Structure 1
Amino acid sequence: MLKPRIGIGFRKWLYTISETTGFSTIDFNKIFNTNFITMKSFIGKKIRSVISSFPNRKESEFTKRIRRRHKIFWEAPNAEVIRNTHMSASDPIEKWMDVENWQRKLSNKHNSREFAKMHGCRVAELYWRGRNVKDIPFDKLPEHYVIRPTIGYSCGMVFVMQKGVNLLDKKPYGIQELQAEMSRAVEENPYLEFLVEEFVRTEKGEYNLPDDYKIYTFNGEIASIRLINRVGVRKGFFGTYDADWNEIEIDNTSYPAGSYQEPPACLEEMVACAKRLSKAYGIFVRIDFYATDKGAVFGEFTPTPTMGYGYTTNASKKYEAYWDKYCAGMI
């Protein structure tokens, strides 16, 4: 019996679901070729389970604002053209801001790197960028490197490679297998490119999955810093801190809470970069960083984190208050 082909739109929908369910896009890839009855049953159970566990069942004002932004940003007919306009750190700010809701350009991960560089923030070294993945010079890459798409979230199509093993799913990948995975993604999206970047080391100089510092910012003001000690795709522990590294109430239940951790040595640099980028970005955005042996390294901008879901009632109220105070009237 022939299996129906899963369309691009349905695949994108699954990726959207992954952002709120906590189920990895890598695992979603495993079910793309199953039959529709099995897939429907699986997804239905997962969504019902997640919805029942939301700490704030009633949709908060913060959630409504994030969903409204997502609709305005990405349902516009020119959304993907804007997101994937090639930009450079040498471009004047006027060129960056030449369209309505120009921040969409920064949801392209190459553009976001350039914007961070433009504002004096450190980024991982770029080894290669493009669509023809057969041109990636694997023979010249170091033993440790990272592959990620210019479009995407939740670690989808991200390979954190250590001597041929992807640390995210703990599986070995040969060059041909990596090329095949990326080629399929490129064929489905005419705008998609891949970046091959430096595998940034920890502050101790080790090649481990880096801790994520997710900073919630509002026009230059920091509301919280969420530290995720990642051990896999959407697996890990986290704590929440303020800009002075005082531990505060957790804001989200995506991961189990971990114990208190000392601040990174580069906290001052990280906070300064986050504030600078946030002020330039203007509207609310989550900005991700890594603490490395070279200092704070910029990761990406996330304008609609988890689609606004999964936040505690107190966190939603706090972020709404910051939005009203520092981003009043902004999308």
Structure 2
Amino acid sequence: MNDKDSYEERVSQIKLQITDLYKVLSSLYLEINNDELVSDKDKESLLSKIDHFYSSREVTQRLVPYVSKRDLGASYQDSIINLIRFKKNIKKNGLPISPGGNNKGHDRKFAELLGVEVPQQYKFKEAFSGIEYIENTVLKPFSGSSSKNVFFMSKGEILEINNGSKYLSLSDLNAAKKMDKAFSSARWIQEDIVYNDGKPANDIKVYCFYGEIGLILEVDRASGPKPLYCYYNSDGQRVDVGRKRVPNFVGNGVPEIALKYAKKISLASPVPFLRIDFFKGDKASVLGEITPHPGWHAGERTDYWDFELGKLFDQAWARLYIDMVNGKKFADFFSVYCDMK
């Protein structure tokens, strides 16, 4: 047996094992639901545990009624992947909407149209050769995500915020990054660092489902060598989403204005989900960026949160569809992000 045949056999065996597993799980689901000796409270607890991780791909015919009754198969992770494929297909038909490599210049213009505060800007879509050291500014790529190649200029040095590396000058930074193709080809935005209590402001990242808040992440990048994380639910209560490999902190709370801005941006966008990022400054919350497809750290989340955010995703699709059927135009969005001519 050659290597290809060996791999194919292993793949087939695993597929059969997964199918058999879900057959057993399907039978257990129905057995629990139909057991008259189990109280309604205990049934809810037991079935919820299965709801939270049951794959929609494995829903059997007998379980189809529970897709409507209990949102069986709902998943944030699956919904993000489906949304990416959906956007690929509508782009093929001439309408690019909210691609993953978010254009920060467009984000800023969109925010300004909606009355959302933005930081003072010094350079826009500038080649690296045109960048100067300006104290208390941040340098970031015109297009990009995940805080890659984002730098603080402060106290006479340059700090790379996603890994804590420090550089004494722009020439040192350029030399260190000469093999980084994304860095070398980037165009740059330079704007004020937003401060809170004398240090760079914490990020407030709002997971927004067409006007409904699902989750909020506060990130402190200034208190130590590694970022610190605090998650909140939509009511502002701290929650554990299952990320065990990152340092957490108590958090400083979420400003209401950031949530108001996030809802406004979300409802003005013809997509079911956006993560909208702000800086929590002393005087105001200002836009950081708009992230269409944030990472969710597969394997570092609880089934509960993947399920709950998946339900919000489904509900957002429904509200968005109804608004579109009723004639909502999203004029501000299309005027900034899409050439409709």
Aligned with residue 206 of structure 2, among 204, 211, 215: 215
Q: Secondary structure at the match of 2:80?
A: helix
Aligned with residue 284 of structure 1, among 250, 265, 273: 273
How far did 1:124 drift?
A: 1.4
Instruction: Assess if the C-alpha contact under 8 Å between 1:133 and 1:183 holds in 2.
Output: no
Seen in structure 2, the aligned counterparts of structure 1 residues 99 and 270 have a Cα distance that, compared at 3 Å, is farther
Aligned with residue 69 of structure 1, among 73, 83, 96: 83
1:273 aligns with 2:261: yes
Question: In structure 2, what is the Cα distance between the partners aligned to 1:187 and 1:237?
Answer: 26
1:157 aligns with 2:146: no
Point out the more displaced range, 308-317 or 292-301: 308-317
Question: In structure 2, what is the Cα distance between the partners aligned to 1:177 and 1:78?
Answer: 40
| Structure with larger Rg | 2
TM-score, length basis structure 2: 0.62
Instruction: Assess if the C-alpha contact under 8 Å between 2:114 and 2:264 holds in 1.
Output: yes
Q: How does 1:16-165 map to 2 (within 5 A)?
A: 61-73=75-87, 100-104=95-99, 107-138=102-133, 141=134, 143-162=135-154, 163-165=156-158
How far did 1:146 drift?
A: 0.7
Instruction: Assess if the C-alpha contact under 8 Å between 2:101 and 2:144 holds in 1.
Output: no
CA RMSD of aligned residues (A): 3.6
Seen in structure 2, the aligned counterparts of structure 1 residues 152 and 104 have a Cα distance that, compared at 3 Å, is same
What are the ranges of 5 or more consecutive residues in structure 2 without an aligned counterpart?
1-52, 57-73, 322-341
Who is 1:324 aligned against? Answer: 314
Seen in structure 2, the aligned counterparts of structure 1 residues 132 and 76 have a Cα distance that, compared at 3 Å, is farther
What are the ranges of 5 or more consecutive residues in structure 1 without an aligned counterpart?
1-55, 80-97
Q: How does 1:299-318 map to 2 (within 5 A)?
A: 299-306=288-295, 309=298, 310-318=300-308
Seen in structure 2, the aligned counterparts of structure 1 residues 247 and 284 have a Cα distance that, compared at 3 Å, is same
Question: In structure 1, what is the Cα distance between the partners aligned to 2:81 and 2:89?
Answer: 14
Seen in structure 2, the aligned counterparts of structure 1 residues 110 and 184 have a Cα distance that, compared at 3 Å, is farther
Instruction: Assess if the C-alpha contact under 8 Å between 1:166 and 1:173 holds in 2.
Output: no
Count of paired positions: 248
Point out the more displaced range, 148-157 or 225-234: 225-234
Q: How does 1:255-274 map to 2 (within 5 A)?
A: 255-259=246-250, 261-264=251-254, 267-274=255-262
Who is 1:31 aligned against? Answer: none
Instruction: Assess if the C-alpha contact under 8 Å between 1:147 and 1:159 holds in 2.
Output: yes
Aligned with residue 295 of structure 1, among 280, 284, 292: 284
How far did 1:78 drift?
A: 6.8
How far did 1:105 drift?
A: 8.6
Question: In structure 2, what is the Cα distance between the partners aligned to 1:172 and 1:113?
Answer: 28
1:229 aligns with 2:250: no
Seen in structure 2, the aligned counterparts of structure 1 residues 134 and 57 have a Cα distance that, compared at 3 Å, is farther
TM-score, length basis structure 1: 0.64
Seen in structure 2, the aligned counterparts of structure 1 residues 105 and 321 have a Cα distance that, compared at 3 Å, is closer
Residues 37-93 of structure 1 deviation map (CA, whole Å, 9 limit, x = unaligned): xxxxxxxxxxxxxxxxxxx898973212212333454x67979xxxxxxxxxxxxxx
Question: In structure 2, what is the Cα distance between the partners aligned to 1:188 and 1:67?
Answer: 27
Seen in structure 2, the aligned counterparts of structure 1 residues 76 and 184 have a Cα distance that, compared at 3 Å, is farther
Please tell me the residue identity of whatever aligns with 2:307: K
Q: Secondary structure at the match of 1:122?
A: coil
Please tell me the residue identity of whatever aligns with 1:193: R
Instruction: Assess if the C-alpha contact under 8 Å between 2:138 and 2:193 holds in 1.
Output: yes
Question: In structure 2, what is the Cα distance between the partners aligned to 1:121 and 1:244?
Answer: 22
